[in-house]
Structure 1
């Protein structure tokens, strides 16, 4: 009926600080110092440096490389789980970590041209192994782009979320990084961006926003800003932004001469250097460039390698970009009228109305309820009563006793304008024996229940009101269902108790930066294998 969910916090006592204290001495001895704390204040401060263990790279040719000398580089020192003889960027990463004195067991699971969804569908047994301490995910190069640019950001987010769940189910303490890819002259043209450097910058901004939105929404460890490193090299006149007219003197080409889309040896080396800096939190400027180094193996001069190391250092030391100001908030209080028995929390025993919700922004009573249209589920609604009359309108208005058990997809329509002051809310139900909250994906829809643009949000169970299994003290209310599936009502009916929690979020959390761009939006699509939405609605903050 309902799946239990758990996450292990990666940092109980500021582990990154502890990691850097230990690493600072070790790395200096190895000839590669840690990134200075003063320049790392805005990086993921609760993430420990990773300097050893089993690391898996998941991606396509942007990871395994598209041509020699990168494709098979250092293949004997890494494990290609598909047996294709690839070394690629993981092979370079392995060599860089060896140069720094670290001990990683590096593996790659890659397939040319494929998406993260493909890997989840076809390579789950490999990816979902408890042996991985660290996993790096690289999405197909255009999938994270806005739909107007030929992308499918919802597909990217959903696949990243599913892979995160797969990895953490096998190893709850695993580090998960997103590998931000790059814009390219070929992709800029194909996806309808302006030509030249302006188009490269615009495409990279869209990629950056998509990766950082997924990082924040889904709870990844961090983002390796490889694509931003490419643009920094262009901005500093180190990389030629238009290789088609020849490489300018003193510059190098980050992209493959074959297609101006994949990485060249310079782009691949920069990719590995950024991954090295982000994951180990070591300063790549201390990496060797002479005989026997990865740079020398690839035919990259010491001067160019030093610049690439510096770019990797600078891009990793930057504060994380602000995509949107988050207003996703737990609901911490609620009041009800109707068939309610007072207490802490109150107990709903029949049809009741939700009167107010409280978040850190305040208490709000101007609530607008939503009607679920066309809910589909393998289970019948938890409690239907006489109104609403059927499963397709099971969650109606603000009737808190009408829940839908294990929602698959529901369309909730509102008859009100959406503004920057709009706050949506979901009130979720779960048996008191389990932890409150469920993962769900929310998408803006129009009056025909079709998606509006690419505006979606992946909610985690931890976003909802916190209430541990077997405890109701912090729940918004308890519920004694009098009709519905036996596992929720009990036998005799009403003997199994459930509890309520909620989450609030805004258009900004959905990725909306311009309200005019979503003028056709009239409601929400909510998808989840486990969410039990008692009521969905909105209110307006002052």
Structure 2
């Protein structure tokens, strides 16, 4: 983490120093959200230029002036309708920040993402797009009991994601979370007033983040959560229809209390700007020539909206709800060092784990744990120099080492965990057996004592699939040259082993509130058969 430069000193306020592999901590609906810190922004995930396309409906193009046609000359409306909208505001904010984006929009009033996929694939599926932002129709992500179709939302998001990545595998893909509104809560069966706005927004938040987790989007721009935060902080009136409270703004259109007003549209653009660029919006200008001034938003009003955009973007992503499993078998890996190509590759000497692939993506920023307290009775194996002890064998990222049949072992990372943390275990077994071992994982503190009652029972089926007598789907093979005869063979090195792995999250361990595990720094593994080669973590982008 690092301190963000003051806006007065650095107008662009760019996050230029990396967090390393850790992201901000997270929370979820019904659980307290940690407040943002002064340390903010992640340059490893920042998008600071290129060709960006916004896909959505009137919640993206704006429903009324002055937003509908704002800055239209500076953006490309792919439908030729001369729309500026929220992408036009976004473009102006990037110019103010000194960033070079080519902004385009593909929008159609009232339409779903499914409609865009069916009718606008030729526009959306172009290799030219470096970044694409998808906004679903405002009620489609809601539960079916509230008139939504979450399955249709997820399927459309999946199809569009695949379409874009098939043309540009390196494209940055974001979801644009929409907002609850005074008109929508009643129409969708929610209570009236602030309670109804909060309940509808919670459902939207859950749907957008679930889709992002399940499908592997780069992130969610929490526009709707920004609306809700403005209401909860007294910046925006929750029910302007009964008269606008002094000092508050109306985020929704006076025409229908559902679409965004100029204030809501400006806040939308500010949240999108903060999420995509990782530039602190509190440094944006509000005077003459700024987007705020051109839209008729006062400096005080704009500063409040900038602050809310900052705060909502700095919040941790929500944890998955209890019962939503994120455990994933690892389906691919790359290695550096003494590696012989093949299917799978063969580790012939000192080798390092370079990347892991799961359904969530491919990850290279891997951190290995330091092991201690291993109680297995078998001696460790090694494909190079024999490790000094079992703790050495199973630590770091060296995949040629293995601690055989660990009874219990503590693996310390020395770093806090977040909602985006994914732990992994690389396991080895002889080719003649099935890959994967039943293992109990427990969170521990720096003294190797359990933290709460958070544990996970992994099954053999959670690991990379590789049946007995085959190596075709294993991550790699290795022939150990020292250790126990059952693993090394006689003479040593004549029995081949194969590697597989599993990935899992704090949610899988039963964590629902990050504050409850603030003392956790490591994992305890307990298994009668597990041979851990590497225990580590990575962080979702």
Match of 1:231 in 2: 228
Q: Check whether the contact 1:423–1:504 (CA below 8 A) recurs between aligned residues.
A: no
Structure 2 distance, partners of 1:466, 1:234, is: 53
Instruction: Select 2:267's aligned residue among 261, 267, 270.
Output: 270
**Cα distance between partner residues in 2 of 1:178 and 1:311:** 19
Counterpart residue number, 2:242: 245
Q: For residues 341-420 of structure 1, what are the structure 2 equivalents within 5 Å? A: 345-346=431-432, 358=437, 361=440
After TM superposition, give the deviation of residue 345 of structure 1 in Å. Answer: 4.0
Alignment RMSD = 3.9
Is 1:474 the counterpart of 2:454 in the alignment? no
Selected match of 1:41 from 4, 24, 45: 24
Q: Contact between 2:466 and 2:472, CA under 8 Å: does it hold in 1? A: no
Look up the SS of the partner of 2:55 in the other structure: strand
Asked whether 1:207 is paired with 2:204, we answer: yes
CA distance 1:332–1:223, change in 2 (3 Å): closer
Post-superposition offset of 1:315: 0.6
Partner secondary structure for residue 193 of structure 1 = coil
5 Å-filtered alignment, 1:114-153, equals 114-153=111-150
Change (3 A) 1:211 1:425: farther
Write the distance in 2 (CA, Å) between the matches of 1:59 and 1:425. 43
2:70 aligned with 1:73: yes
CA shift for structure 1 position 502: 11
Q: Deviations over 1:316-366 (max 9, x none)?
A: 111112232553324589xxxxxxxxx95459xxxxxxx99646558xxxx
Taking structure 1 as the reference length, the TM-score comes to: 0.59
1:121-175 CA-partner distances (Å, limit 9, x unpaired): 1111111111111110101101111111111111111111111111111111111
Secondary structure (helix, strand or coil) at the match of 2:194 reads helix
Within 1, Cα distance between the matches of 2:299 and 2:466? 54
Q: 1:191 — aligned with what? A: 188
The answer to whether 1:159 aligns with 2:139 is no
Q: C-alpha displacement at 1:47, in angstroms?
A: 4.3
Pair 241,146 (structure 1): closer, same or farther in 2 beyond 3 Å? same
Cα contact 2:50–2:131 (8 A) shared by 1: yes
Partner of 2:278: 281
Q: Which residue of 1 aligns with 2:167?
A: 170
Report if the CA contact (8 A) 2:15-2:41 is conserved.
Answer: no
8 A contact 1:425–1:502 mirrored in 2:
no
- CA shift for structure 1 position 308: 0.4
Separation in 2, partners of 1:288, 1:44? 19
Structure 2 residues not aligned, in runs of 5+: 26-39, 332-428, 442-454, 478-497, 513-541
Pick from 310, 329, 332 the counterpart of residue 327 of structure 2: 329
Instruction: Give the match's secondary structure for 1:105.
Output: strand
* Structure 1 residues 331 and 232: CA distance shift in structure 2, 3 A: closer
Indicate the residue corresponding to 2:12 in structure 1: 32
Shift of 1:45: 5.7
Q: 2:255 aligns with which of 258, 262, 284?
A: 258
1:435 is matched with none
Judged with a 3 Å threshold, the aligned counterparts in structure 2 of structure 1 residues 28 and 300 are, in CA distance, closer, same or farther, namely closer
Q: Which residue of 2 aligns with 1:403?
A: none
Q: C-alpha offsets along residues 345-388 of structure 1, whole Å, 9 cap, x if unaligned?
A: 459xxxxxxx99646558xxxxxxxxxxxxxxxxxxxxxxxxxx
Unaligned residue ranges in structure 1 (runs of 5+): 1-16, 334-342, 348-354, 363-419, 428-462, 478-498, 514-542
Q: Does residue 63 in structure 1 map to residue 46 in structure 2?
A: no
Distance in structure 2 (CA, Å) of the matches to 1:129 and 1:48 = 22
Question: Following superposition of structure 1 onto structure 2, how do residues 392-541 of structure 1 map, counting pairs within 5 Å?
Answer: 465=465, 472=472, 474=474
CA offset at residue 119 of structure 1? 0.7
Check 1:346–1:122 CA distance in 2 against 1; reply closer, same or farther (3 A cut). farther
Measure the CA separation in 2 of the matches of 1:332 and 1:289: 48
Q: Deviations over 1:436-478 (max 9, x none)?
A: xxxxxxxxxxxxxxxxxxxxxxxxxxx96599xx97261799x
Q: Distance in 2 between matches of 1:86 and 1:301?
A: 24
Q: Does 1:109 align with 2:106?
A: yes
Q: How many pairs were matched up?
A: 359
Q: In structure 2, do the counterparts of structure 1 residues 147 and 322 end up closer, same or farther at CA, with 3 Å as the change threshold?
A: same
Q: Which residue of 2 aligns with 1:50?
A: 47
CA distance in 1, matches of 2:327, 2:23: 27
**Does the 8 A contact of 1:466 with 1:475 survive in 2?**
no
Q: Deviations over 1:189-229 (max 9, x none)?
A: 00000100000000001111111111111111011110000
Match of 1:216 in 2: 213
* Aligned-pair CA distance for 1:85: 0.8
Q: How many Å apart are 1:89 and its aligned residue? A: 0.2
- Relative to structure 1, the CA distance from residue 476 to residue 63 in structure 2 (aligned partners, 3 Å threshold; closer, same or farther) is same
Contact 2:225 2:312 (8 Å CA) reproduced = yes
Q: 1:243: Cα distance to partner?
A: 1.1
Secondary structure of the 1:113 match is: coil
Q: Does the aligned pair in 2 maintain the 1:273–1:312 contact within 8 Å?
A: yes
The CA distance in 2 between the partners of 1:71 and 1:290, in whole Å, is 21
Distance 1:359 1:165 in 2: 34
Native 8 Å contact 2:48 2:277 kept in 1? yes
1:404-430 per-residue CA deviation (whole Å, 9 max, x = no partner) reads xxxxxxxxxxxxxxxx99999989xxx
CA distance in 2, matches of 1:283, 1:466: 47
Q: For the Cα contact (< 8 Å) 2:125–2:167, is it kept in 1?
A: yes
Task: Pick closer, same or farther for the CA change 1:41–1:330 going to 2, 3 Å.
Answer: closer
Is 1:89–2:86 an aligned residue pair? Answer: yes
Q: Secondary structure at the match of 2:231?
A: helix
